[in-house]
């Protein structure tokens, strides 16, 4: 279409308006694009200028006249429902957007459902309510259903309920708690439909409608369509469920009847009519109508438009859409949204956005909630922050492009779904939240560290289905070799590592804890296998942990023989991680330490711990909740450093005792159960361990935990090691020889008979 260039005003500031401004700015007929208020991404577009939006409808029209605007495009639904388009038209200003009367099709779900019934538009059976008690009773009766706020709720006012309890909770949220303000004064409760949800957008000039490519939107926040409803976390086209026959039905029975019905009722629709539909086994059913471009549907369809967008919009305004051919690229398009922390129930703003300079320049990035800091850095300023859009020959390729970009962009608390488009493409393991490549990448990074633990004893290590270890070198000289094995983990100490972003030391913890567990039976460690499980594997984290494990193994001549990573979304909470190991050692049967030779009068020596080691962290975290991990709080180091101090390994001390020919009668590793439950495990039933508390110097970290949590001393003794990491029982006559071999060992008690007059607390006397 020919004609002089004109200025265009776009009202709105989200991702939809970014896509509109981007498309309009490329038109040969566009002199200038103004966007009110716009966002940081829009402001960076060539030939585009952002202007303030804090204006009434009349002032917006005044601004449009002052700027010499030839067409105004209204993006959001609120100004359309408020009648901004009517004000423009009464002033003789060209505007793309329906009148307030036509916009009722979105502004009131109750009116819209009645409109559909009047004009034979297929929809779900429904009831409307203004009385909360009646609504609750109906929700109880219906059970699985959909509860909708009648008014505008920014795309978040629909609750898909699977039970009567969920339905009643939705009614209460809308009508009593006013989760979406006055939008919930009146609610619609309708039958829940089963099928494929699809969005159809159509250009309309009041009498003619031209459909855009069908789009499927992902409304729920979390993968697998779980979590709260959002404005949309991603969308894509083509949609496998929408065949040509289905599209014909939509054009005639849904969009066609809606356009004809609105015209017949005196409110012709000029703008974009958005039909939210469900393709069910029984045919197409209309979920809702919207009176504007969708978001993120607009970001998906406009990159496929070959016809000049400005020409189409002007044709709609002038009532000659039927004269305007519209062409689309025969490609696939996919958008993936990155949302801010807390969205949609709340939204955190002000987080710095980075990584945009690393995005492939052919990938489209449409901003929504972004702004500039005074120093020029980009930051989050809304719920949905931005969307990456891939346009490729196939949907798989488009999604790969979109995800490659969104994964490059970083900001604190970023929320992104990983399964956009999964229902219209071949399902992959990654779509279920499991990234095999992440585990492989972590293993590749740690390969050198793992290899350093191998020697001639390792015949097959981590790359096989199982590890092979040659025992011959380690059983030479043993009359009756016995293998000793143990499996254990390090518990919630991982939560401290996650909070500080420091993972290497917990790998050391795992090895040292495992060594100590078999050391108490006299075994020398041979090899270890590790297991890391999480909701999502991060290669950097896994590599740091495995490198820590490998380093500790190498320092004690233990082979890291094998390992396993498990990514289990839905089993583990996001951000949590579990770390476990199995260790195997060997001991000559005659040298097994089992406590059977312990006698009353034997001495109890203690080897100091390096801190909490790996037990009691759930209680410690509860007691210390709210404290700054970077501050000292009276300690000689930062609290986080004290909590992450690695578990001490007592292998060198035990070897020193053996070299000094000390008779080790029992060893007690003080782990879960603390100083109450562990010592009794290594002495005969007729005996008890007596500890002199005056000889125990409790490290400051334990005092801080006890003070902050107001924890009883008995509970502290049952939970923590209180500075005693390993107890060693030796004959009384060998105390001096033992202490000479243990530079930091101390005598803390003795073995006593469990007589009736002995003061014994859970078999440990104090």
Per-residue pLDDT, 25: 96
How many Å apart are CA 314 and CA 205, to the nearest integer? 9
Indicate whether 693 pLDDT > 90: no
How many Å apart are CA 666 and CA 687, to the nearest integer? 13
pLDDT per position as a tens digit, 477-512: 899 999 999 999 999 999 999 889 899 999 999 999
Spell out the long-range contacts of 684-688 with Cβ–Cβ below 8 A and sequence spacing 24 or more.
684/595, 684/596, 684/598, 685/754, 686/753, 686/754, 687/598, 687/599, 687/600, 687/751, 687/752, 687/753, 687/754, 688/751, 688/752, 688/753, 688/754, 688/758, 688/760, 688/763, 688/764, 688/765
pLDDT per position as a tens digit, 605-664: 999 999 999 999 999 999 999 999 999 999 999 999 999 999 999 999 999 999 999 999
Q: What is the dihedral of CA 636, 639, 643, 645, to 10 degrees?
A: -40
How many Å apart are CA 272 and CA 292, to the nearest integer? 5
Indicate whether 409 pLDDT > 90: yes
Q: What percent of the chain has pLDDT over 90?
A: 72
Among candidate residues 545, 529, 555, the one with its CA nearest the CA of residue 453 = 555
- E strand or H helix that includes residue 591: none
- E strand or H helix that includes residue 613: none
How many Å apart are CA 543 and CA 504, to the nearest integer? 9
Sheet with 764-765: list strands edge to edge. 666-669, 724-730, 603-608, 746-753, 687-691, 764-765
Radius of gyration of the chain (CA): 35
Specify the range with the lowest mean pLDDT, choosing from 172-186, 190-204, 609-623, 729-743: 172-186
Per-residue pLDDT, 226: 86
**427 pLDDT band (50/70/90 cuts)?**
very low
**63 pLDDT band (50/70/90 cuts)?**
very high
In angstroms, the Cα distances linking 244 to 349, 425, 605 are 43, 18, 83
State the chain's mean pLDDT as an integer: 90
Does pTM top 0.75 for this prediction? no
What tokens appear for 493 in the block? Answer: 């100490």
Among candidate residues 633, 669, 682, 469, the one with its CA nearest the CA of residue 557 = 469
Indicate whether 39 pLDDT > 80: yes
Indicate whether 763 pLDDT > 50: no
CB atoms near residue 300 (< 10 Å): 34
Helices (H), 309-381: 309-318
The residue ranking higher by pLDDT, 144 or 598, is: 598
pLDDT per position as a tens digit, 542-597: 889 999 999 999 999 999 998 888 888 777 776 678 999 999 999 999 999 999 99
pLDDT per position as a tens digit, 658-687: 999 999 999 999 998 999 999 999 999 999
Per-residue pLDDT, 425: 57
In angstroms, the Cα distances linking 472 to 417, 458, 518 are 52, 11, 20
Per-residue pLDDT, 281: 86
Mean pLDDT of 93-99: 97
In angstroms, the Cα distances linking 651 to 518, 520, 572, 647, 724 are 10, 10, 34, 12, 15
Residues whose CB is less than 8 angstroms from the CB of residue 410 and which lie 6 or more positions away in sequence, other chains included: 353, 354, 355
Helices (H) and strands (E) in the chain, counts: 26, 34
Indicate whether 513 pLDDT > 90: yes
Per-residue pLDDT, 757: 45
Q: What's the distance, CA 31 to chain centroid?
A: 43
pLDDT per position as a tens digit, 428-463: 545 445 555 555 665 666 777 888 889 889 887 666
Per-residue pLDDT, 766: 56
The residue ranking higher by pLDDT, 155 or 1, is: 155
Mean pLDDT of 233-259: 95
What tokens appear for 285 in the block? Answer: 């059913």
pLDDT per position as a tens digit, 515-548: 999 999 999 999 999 999 887 778 888 889 999 9
Indicate whether 760 pLDDT > 70: no
pLDDT per position as a tens digit, 262-278: 999 999 999 999 999 98
Spell out the long-range contacts of 315-318 with Cβ–Cβ below 8 A and sequence spacing 24 or more.
315/1, 315/205, 316/96, 316/203, 316/204, 316/205, 316/270, 316/271, 317/71, 317/94, 317/95, 317/96, 317/205, 317/270, 318/205
Strands (E), 499-546: 524-534
pLDDT per position as a tens digit, 127-143: 889 999 998 998 888 88
DSSP 720-740: --TTEEEEEEE-GGGHHHHHH
How many Å apart are CA 32 and CA 29, to the nearest integer? 9
Specify the range with the lowest mean pLDDT, choosing from 192-201, 324-333, 618-627, 755-764: 755-764
Indicate whether 762 pLDDT > 60: no
């Amino acid at each position: 279409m020919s004609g002089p260039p004109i200025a265009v005003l776009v009202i709105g500031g989200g991702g939809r308006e970014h896509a509109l401004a981007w498309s309009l700015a490329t038109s040969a007929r566009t002199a200038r694009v103004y966007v009110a208020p716009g966002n940081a991404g829009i402001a960076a577009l060539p030939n585009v200028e952002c202007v303030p939006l804090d204006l009434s409808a009349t002032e917006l029209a005044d601004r449009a006249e002052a700027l010499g605007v030839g067409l105004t495009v209204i993006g959001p639904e609120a100004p359309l429902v408020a009648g901004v388009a009517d004000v423009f038209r009464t002033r003789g200003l060209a505007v793309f957007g329906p009148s307030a009367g036509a916009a009722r099709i979105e502004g009131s779900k109750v009116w819209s459902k009645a409109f559909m019934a009047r004009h034979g538009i297929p929809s779900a059976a429904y009831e409307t309510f203004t009385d909360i008690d009646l609504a609750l009773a109906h929700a109880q009766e219906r059970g699985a259903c959909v509860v909708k706020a009648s008014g505008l709720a920014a795309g978040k006012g629909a609750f898909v309920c699977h039970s009567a309890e969920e339905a009643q909770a939705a009614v209460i949220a809308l009508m009593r708690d006013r989760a979406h303000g006055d939008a919930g004064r009146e609610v619609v409760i309708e039958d829940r439909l089963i099928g494929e949800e699809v969005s159809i957008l159509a250009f309309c000039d009041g009498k003619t409608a031209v459909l855009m490519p069908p789009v499927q939107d992902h409304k729920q926040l979390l993968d697998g369509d779980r979590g709260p409803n959002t404005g949309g976390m991603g969308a894509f086209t083509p949609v496998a469920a929408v065949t040509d026959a289905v599209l014909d039905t939509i054009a005639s029975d849904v969009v066609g009847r809606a356009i004809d019905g609105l015209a017949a009722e005196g409110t012709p629709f000029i703008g974009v009519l958005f039909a939210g539909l469900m393709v069910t086994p029984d045919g197409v059913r209309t979920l809702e109508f919207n009176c504007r471009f969708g978001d993120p549907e607009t970001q998906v369809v406009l990159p496929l438009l070959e016809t000049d967008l400005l020409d189409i919009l002007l044709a709609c305004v002038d009532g000659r859409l039927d004269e305007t051919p519209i062409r689309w690229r025969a490609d696939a398009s996919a958008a993936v949204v990155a949302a801010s922390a807390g969205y949609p129930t709340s939204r955190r703003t002000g987080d710095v956005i980075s990584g945009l300079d690393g995005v492939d320049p052919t990938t489209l990035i449409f901003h929504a909630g972004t702004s500039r800091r005074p120093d020029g850095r980009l930051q989050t300023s809304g719920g949905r922050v931005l969307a990456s859009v891939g346009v490729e020959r196939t949907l798989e390729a488009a999604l790969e492009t979109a995800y490659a970009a969104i994964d490059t962009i970083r900001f604190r608390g970023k929320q992104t779904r990983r399964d956009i488009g999964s229902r219209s493409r071949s399902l992959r393991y990654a779509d279920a939240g499991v990234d095999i490549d992440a585990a492989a990448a972590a293993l590749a990074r740690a390969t050198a560290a793992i290899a350093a633990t191998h020697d001639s004893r390792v015949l097959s290590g981590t790359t096989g289905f199982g590890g092979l270890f040659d025992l011959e070198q380690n059983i030479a000289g043993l009359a009756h070799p016995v293998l000793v094995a143990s499996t254990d983990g390090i518990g919630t100490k991982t939560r401290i590592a996650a909070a500080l972003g420091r993972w290497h030391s917990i790998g050391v913890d795992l090895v040292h804890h495992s060594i100590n567990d078999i050391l108490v039976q006299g075994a020398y460690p041979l090899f270890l296998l590790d297991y890391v499980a999480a909701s999502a594997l991060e290669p950097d984290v896994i590599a740091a942990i495995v490198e820590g494990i490998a380093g500790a193994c190498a320092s004690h001549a233990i082979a890291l023989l094998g390992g396993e990573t498990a990514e289990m979304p839905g089993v583990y909470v996001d951000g949590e991680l579990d770390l476990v190991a199995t260790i195997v050692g060997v001991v000559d049967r005659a040298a097994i330490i089992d406590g059977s030779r312990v006698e009353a009068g034997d001495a109890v020596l203690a080897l100091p711990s390096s801190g909490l080691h790996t037990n009691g962290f759930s209680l410690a975290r509860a007691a210390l909740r709210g404290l700054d991990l970077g501050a000292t709080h009276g300690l000689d180091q930062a609290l986080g450093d004290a909590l992450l101090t690695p578990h001490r390994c007592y292998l060198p001390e035990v070897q020193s005792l053996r070299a000094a020919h000390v008779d080790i009668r029992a060893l007690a590793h003080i782990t879960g159960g603390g100083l109450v439950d562990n010592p009794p495990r290594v002495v005969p039933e007729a005996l008890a361990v007596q500890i002199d508390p005056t000889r125990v110097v409790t490290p400051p970290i334990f005092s801080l935990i006890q003070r902050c949590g107001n924890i009883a001393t008995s509970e502290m003794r049952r939970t923590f090691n209180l500075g005693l990491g390993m107890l060693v029982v030796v004959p009384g006559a060998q105390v001096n020889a033992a202490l000479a071999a243990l530079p930091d060992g101390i005598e803390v008690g003795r073995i006593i008979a469990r007589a009736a007059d002995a003061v014994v607390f859970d078999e440990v006397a104090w």
